[in-house]
């Protein structure tokens, strides 16, 4: 089939899954991959109503298709769509990578544990999505367990995250008593125990919002309660608005169980209905580049090192914003003006690591990088230079002093530090007076990776001294008096030589602000 560029772009849905660790991000990702490709092709989904797959099934598919659920970008075909799922590592290894990944997607799926509600990492990631104004879809997970009351969860979501919520479906019971989903959006009831109800998976609802006909489930008080709850939601809840979803002001909420697969396909079907196609991107010159514009443009949002010391290569992840990628094509890197050929260097990170044949707006491609790229770089094909707006920077929260163990190896130490810092996952500061190196990161893991790579890639063994968490605040150079520095607010310079204070804690920051009321301090995001 000869698809036009516009058709191809329309079929793309690129999103990230965000959650607090253990909420079920990996499990739901597996399910989406299963629904999306592998299992469907093998024709096994139908026979397994519970949607529960043995681990070995999954591993076999992983082998066959070469999909790794641990890869950073996964691609599945579903219902005529090409879905690109970007992983955002949760855990305390929270990095700028994670945040920047959110710059490369058009929507986000937020997974919440029904027993726990909104947790800290969810809140942090949510804030970044909100800042971008992208649509956020909520999946309240683990309904096969006894969790918190759905009404409470919705109220908490709205209150803590300051977003309106619209339940697309409503659980009928929970845990062992989960009878199914009252599916408001599809006007039906989806059953967990179809065998008790004439072997139907779905029962349609009549105009009174009740199941028509004589089914066992109708006698249950759980069912009656759900009908009442939904009535209340309809009267007192938010109104459904596609525009509000698109603007990221209203989150559609889905209940389900990633582990048993219950409600996942219902979610996925609605998701592809409402998730946006690849959006236009704005350049620094304030021009808008439409995804269907003919010439290739894209930006690098992440650089990942190969942790295998035998391979020194790195992969630069490009979000394509317009045009069509073809192997062997030439592009320019705007920052350096360098022309490079995207020949045998390109691969998708998921899907069997094959050569990419074609990729359009919304797609992510991985380029082998031998030092040409930096995070935030724009690549373009046309005659006219393009630079997309700068990616946001995030204020590091954890700091480490770093010194070379072997003074004879100063040179490789400095080279390694400079190069690794360029990748953007870690920030470098120097103390204002003594020029000691201090590293700043959003998460602890970044330091460990840094230390490992310095040793294995640059043969530089380092001493790392934790300084704990600090609050970094930048000061305008004209306001600066170097005597303002103290042990509680250490004066440093950042990589661009801008002065920055590292405050010991909130108290130290407030003390400083009281003492110098006319000095303006700024944080990054
Ligand atoms: P992640 O850290 O967010 O990727 O979470 P995982 O997907 O690894 O899930 C964390 C734990 O929760 C695992 O033990 C899963 O088996 C379990 N889990 C995930 N989804 C569900 C669910 O729907 N129900 C139940 N009962 N457990 C789940």
> What is the reported pTM?
0.82
Q: What is the ipTM of this complex?
A: 0.99
Q: Which residue blocks in 37-111 are alpha helix, DSSP H?
A: 38-42, 55-65, 96-101
- Whether residue 19 has its Cβ less than 6 Å from ligand 1: yes
What is the DSSP pairing of strand 378-380 with strand 297-305?
antiparallel
- Whether residue 142 has its Cβ less than 6 Å from ligand 1: yes
**Averaged over 109-135, what is the pLDDT?**
93
**Averaged over 398-404, what is the pLDDT?**
93
Burial class (CB in 10 A: 0-12, 13-18, 19+), 208: exposed
Residue 182 to residue 191: CA distance in whole angstroms: 9
Question: Which 3 state secondary structure label does DSSP give 476?
Answer: coil
Q: Which atom of ligand 1 is nearest to the CA of 29?
A: 7
Q: Please give the pLDDT value at position 50.
A: 38
CATH number, span 281-380: 3.40.50.300
Least confident stretch, 276-290, 327-341, 351-365, 382-396: 351-365
The residue whose CB lies within 8 Å of the most ligand 1 atoms, and thus the one to mutate among 21, 92, 121, 258, is: 258
Ligand 1: which residue has its CA nearest to atom 16?
Answer: 259
Question: Which 3 state secondary structure label does DSSP give 33?
Answer: helix
- Whether residue 141 has its Cβ less than 6 Å from ligand 1: yes
Q: Please state the separation of Cα 219 from the chain's center in Å.
A: 43
Torsion from C-alpha of 353, 355, 357, 358, nearest 10 degrees = 60
Q: Please give the pLDDT value at position 511.
A: 95
Å from CA of 142 to ligand 1 middle: 7
Q: Examine domains 15-70+91-274 and 281-380 and report if their fold is the same.
A: yes
Residue 488 to residue 501: CA distance in whole angstroms: 9
Interval 338-351: pLDDT, tens: 999 887 554 544 44
Q: To 5 degrees, how large is the angle CA 5–CA 11–CA 12?
A: 95
What integer best gives the mean pLDDT of the chain? 86
Residue 100 has pLDDT above 90, yes or no: no
Residue 446 has pLDDT above 80, yes or no: no
Å from CA of 43 to ligand 1 middle: 25
Residue 87 annotated as binding site: yes
Look up the CATH architecture of domain 398-522.
2-Layer Sandwich (3.30)
Nearby residues of 81 by Cβ (< 8 Å), 6 or more positions away: 11, 12, 13, 272
Beta bridge partners, 402, equal 464
Residue 433 annotated as binding site: no
Interval 457-507: pLDDT, tens: 889 999 999 998 899 999 999 999 988 988 899 999 998 899 999 999 999
Highest mean pLDDT, choosing among 308-322, 439-453, 459-473: 459-473
In 3D, which of 234, 15, 247 has the Cα closest to residue 133? 247
Residue 120 annotated as binding site: no
CATH number, span 15-70+91-274: 3.40.50.300
Å from CA of 135 to ligand 1 middle: 24
Residue 160 to residue 119: CA distance in whole angstroms: 10
Residue 60 has pLDDT above 70, yes or no: no
Ligand 1: which residue has its CA nearest to atom 21?
Answer: 259
Instruction: List Cα–Cα distances, 517 to 374, 513, 514, in angstroms.
Output: 38, 5, 5
- Whether residue 22 has its Cβ less than 6 Å from ligand 1: yes
Burial class (CB in 10 A: 0-12, 13-18, 19+), 232: exposed
Q: Please give the pLDDT value at position 264.
A: 95
Å from CA of 344 to ligand 1 middle: 38
Backbone angles phi and psi of 384, in degrees to 5: -90, 130
Å from CA of 156 to ligand 1 middle: 21
- Whether residue 27 has its Cβ less than 6 Å from ligand 1: yes
**Averaged over 363-390, what is the pLDDT?**
88
What is the DSSP pairing of strand 12-19 with strand 107-113?
parallel
CB contact at 8 A, 473 and 509: yes
Domain boundaries, the chain: 15-70+91-274, 281-380, 398-522
């Amino acid at each position: 089939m000869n698809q036009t560029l516009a058709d191809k772009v329309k079929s793309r849905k690129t999103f990230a899954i965000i959650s607090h660790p253990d909420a079920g991000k990996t499990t739901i990702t597996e399910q989406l991959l299963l629904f999306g490709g592998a299992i469907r092709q093998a024709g096994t989904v139908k026979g397994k109503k519970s949607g529960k797959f043995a681990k070995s099934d999954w591993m076999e598919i992983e082998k066959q298709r070469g999909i790794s659920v641990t890869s950073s970008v996964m691609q599945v075909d579903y219902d005529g769509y090409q879905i690109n799922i970007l992983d955002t590592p949760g855990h305390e290894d929270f990095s700028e990578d994670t945040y920047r990944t959110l710059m490369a997607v058009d929507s986000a799926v937020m997974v919440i544990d029904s027993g726990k509600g909104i947790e800290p990492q969810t809140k942090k990631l949510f804030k970044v999505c909100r800042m971008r104004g992208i649509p956020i879809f909520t999946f309240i997970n683990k309904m096969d367990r006894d969790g918190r009351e759905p009404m409470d969860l919705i109220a908490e979501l709205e209150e803590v995250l300051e977003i309106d919520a619209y339940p697309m479906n409503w659980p009928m019971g929970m845990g062992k008593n989960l009878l199914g989903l009252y599916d408001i959006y599809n006007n039906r009831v989806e059953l967990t125990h179809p065998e008790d109800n004439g072997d139907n998976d779905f029962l349609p609802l009549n105009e009174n919002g009740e199941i028509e006909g004589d089914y066992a489930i109708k006698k249950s008080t759980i069912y009656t309660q759900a009908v009442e709850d939904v009535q209340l939601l309809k009267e007192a809840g938010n109104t459904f608005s596609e525009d509000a979803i698109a603007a990221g002001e209203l989150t559609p909420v889905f209940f389900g169980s990633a582990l048993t697969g219950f409600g996942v396909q219902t979610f996925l079907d609605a998701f592809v209905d409402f998730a946006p196609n690849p959006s236009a991107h704005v350049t620094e010159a304030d021009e808008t580049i439409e995804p269907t514009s003919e010439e290739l443009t894209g930006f690098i949002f992440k650089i990942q090192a190969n942790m295998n010391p035998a391979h020194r290569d790195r992969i630069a992840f490009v979000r394509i914003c317009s045009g069509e990628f073809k192997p062997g094509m030439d592009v320019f890197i705007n920052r350096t003006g360098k022309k490079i050929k995207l020949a045998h260097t390109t691969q998708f990170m998921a899907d069997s690591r094959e050569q990419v044949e074609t990729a359009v707006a919304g797609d992510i491609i991985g380029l082998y990088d031998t030092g040409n790229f930096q995070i935030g770089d724009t690549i373009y094909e046309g005659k006219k230079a393009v630079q997309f707006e700068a990616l946001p920077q995030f204020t590091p929260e954890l700091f480490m002093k770093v010194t070379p163990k072997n003074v004879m190896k100063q040179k490789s130490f400095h080279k390694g530090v400079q190069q690794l810092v360029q990748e953007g996952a870690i920030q470098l500061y120097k103390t204002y007076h003594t020029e000691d190196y201090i590293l700043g990161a959003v998460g602890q893991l970044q330091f460990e990776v840094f230390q490992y790579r310095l040793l294995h890639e640059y043969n530089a063994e380092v001493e790392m001294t934790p300084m704990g968490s600090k609050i970094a605040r930048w000061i305008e150079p004209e306001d600066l008096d170097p005597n303002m520095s103290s042990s509680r607010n250490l004066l440093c310079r950042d990589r661009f030589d801008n002065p920055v204070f590292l405050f010991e804690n909130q108290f130290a920051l407030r003390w400083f602000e009281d003492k110098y009321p006319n000095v303006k301090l700024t944080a990054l995001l």
